[in-house]
Amino acid sequence: MVLETPITHQTVYLTRACQFAGISRSCIYFKKKVQIVSPPGRKPPGYTMNRDGTLILDHTIVSILKEYRREVVFLNAGGAKKLSKYIAIEKKIYINHKKIYRLCDENKLLLFKQDFTKKRKFKKNRCEYLEVSKPNELWQLDLKYIWIHGESRWCFLLAFIDVVSKKITGWYLGKTCKASDLVFTLDQALRNECITDEQTLVIRSDNGPQMSSNRFYFYLKNLEKKLIHEFIPPKSPVRNAYIEAFNSILEIEVLQVRLECGEKGVIFLV
């Protein structure tokens, strides 16, 4: 038997000492890893050299990115790669998507990216009795399923109603209704009604998946000064009576299949 390392008095001493202390001998040779901090790289130059040799300043690129973010196409979608391609095609400015991402990050132009690996839980604000006397103090929202007879499938109607004026401030109709559609509909309603930070608005909803989603929660978190979201208790649609009444009237007067007796018998009216 050949030993790779010769046994010395020091090795025997360490072995006996570790056995006496009840620890492993490898603990003696453990060395802490030294974290090597790499030196910082160069600072951003503040401009971009285009293919034709012209210099384009960063604040000019930021203004172009803000214009894109105001468009409907880029409100809920459109990352750095998509923006870089649009700028190259429409503006003839060729910029790496990594720099587009950095400029969007510095100027708060990035979109919310949902992390499906972590499920965040947040505390829901339960609704209480609220006295309102003028419009745009309390909105109620709800999601209604509508059956399409011609296609034999369901569609979704999302509506916001003002409790005082009974006005439908915003609505959405589509074959699918996701949290992004809810965010877009509410954003358009706030713009149409000119809701500012000076006037606090309370919106009330049930505990549906769109209203309880992380996407809607983080959108409302940026509007804490102008908007308060509260949930009704489970199995209590009376707390959301105005939008429930609107959906009931819509169902009875518009959506239900009616019967009409004519000369040729019973006629179904959709």
> Residues 223-264: pLDDT tens digits?
776 788 999 988 888 889 999 999 999 998 888 865 555 554
User: Where does the pLDDT of residue 132 fall: very low under 50, low under 70, confident under 90, or very high at 90 and above?
Assistant: confident
Between 76 and 262, residue with greater pLDDT = 76
The phi-psi region of residue 214 (left if phi > 0; otherwise alpha if psi is between -120 and 50; otherwise beta) is alpha
> Tokens 């606090």 sit at which residue?
200
H or E element at residue 69: helix 58-70
Alpha-carbon distance 221 to 191, whole Å? 17
Each domain of the chain, given as residue ranges in start order, spans 47-106, 138-255
| In contact, 110 and 103? CB cutoff 8 Å | no
In this predicted structure, the answer to whether residue 47 has a pLDDT above a threshold of 90 is no
Q: Write down how long the chain is.
A: 270
- Min mean pLDDT across 144-148, 178-182, 245-249, 266-270 is at 266-270
Q: What is the pLDDT of residues 166-208, one digit of tens each?
A: 999 999 999 999 999 999 999 999 999 988 877 788 999 999 9
CATH of 138-255, one of 3.30.420.10, 3.40.50.300, 3.10.440.10, 1.10.10.10: 3.30.420.10
Q: Strands, E, within 112-226: which ranges?
A: 138-148, 153-162, 168-174, 201-205
Residue 33: is its pLDDT beyond 50?
A: no
Q: Which of 171, 134, 164 is nearest to 250 (CA)?
A: 171
Is residue 133 scored above 70 in pLDDT?
A: yes
pTM equals 0.54
pLDDT band at 25 (very low <50, low <70, confident <90, very high): confident
Residue range 81-87: mean pLDDT, rounded: 90
